[in-house]
Amino acid sequence: MLRPLSDDLFVLDVPFRVGGMALGGRMTVIRLPEGGLWLHSPVKMSEAAREAVDVLGPVRFLVAPNVMHHLAMGDWAAAYPSAKVLAPPGLRKKRPDLRIDVELSDTLDVGQSPAVEQLLAHGIPKLEEFAFLHRPSRTLLLTDLAFNIHETPSWVTRTYLKLCGAYGRLAPTWLLKSMVKDKAALRAWRDRVLQWDFDRVVPCHGQVLESGGREALRDGFAWL
C-alpha cells in the first residue's frame, strides 16, 4: 500500500476523479526523526491504508495542505484523536464540522518537526495552498499548484491538460492560473521555494518527479 521513496518518506497512490477527469490522488507520509508520522493530504481511509500507516508508527500530524484537500480528513482525525490536525485558516469556515487544531501560516510554529518547512503560495486566496519541504530527503510536496501527469487512459484528462500546456510536465493548470489574484505575490513564493534545497517533487496528482525538480518548477512557473 505505501511505497517508499526514501528511508522516511512514503506515498500512497489512489484513484481519484473530478469533473470527468481522472487525476489520481496521493497521500505522503513522513516518518519524523523525533518519532511519529506526518501525513500530507490524507486520502480516503480504508482498513488497508490505516494498517499500512500504523506499521510505520503513531500518527502525530494530519495536514490539509489547502482548502480543497479535506474530504477524508474527518475520518482520519476521528481515527487518530491525539494527532494534531493542521489546515489553512480558510478551511475552518468551509468545514466547521472538522476538528482543526492548528491554522497553518508562514511564521507560526505549529509544533511540527524541524525536518519539515512550509510556505503559503500567496496570491491565490481561494486555494490557500502551502508547499512543504522535507529536508532530509530534499523533497518538495505540492498539492494543486502543479500536476505532473504524463499518461492517463482518460482522453478528457489528456485533452484538458494538453490545452493547458500541462500534460507530460510539472505545471499548473488553466484552472489554477485563473484563480491567481496577485501574480507578483505568487512569483515571490516561487522564488522563495526555488531557494529551498530540493531535487524530488511529490505532487498529489500525477507522477513523482524523482530528480530535476527545481528546474521543472522553474519551467512550469515561468509564465509568472
- pLDDT number for residue 106: 83
pLDDT at 17: 87
What residues make up the domain containing 51? 3-220
How far, in Å, are 52, 75, 136, 149, 177 from residue 218 at the CA level? 35, 36, 22, 17, 15
pLDDT tens sequence for the chain (224 residues): 899 999 999 999 999 888 788 899 999 999 999 899 999 999 999 999 999 999 999 999 999 999 999 999 999 999 999 999 999 999 999 999 999 999 999 866 656 678 999 999 999 999 999 999 999 999 999 999 999 999 888 889 999 999 988 999 999 999 999 999 999 999 999 999 999 999 999 999 999 999 999 999 999 999 99
Distance CA(106)–CA(7), nearest Å, equals: 27
Reported pTM: 0.95
Given this model, what pLDDT does residue 197 score? Answer: 97
pLDDT per position as a tens digit, 112-132: 678 999 999 999 999 999 999
CA 74 to chain centre: 17
Residue of 100, 3, 85, 8 lying closest to 42 (CA atoms): 85
Domain harbouring 126, CATH code: 3.60.15.10
Counting the structural domains of the chain, the total is 1
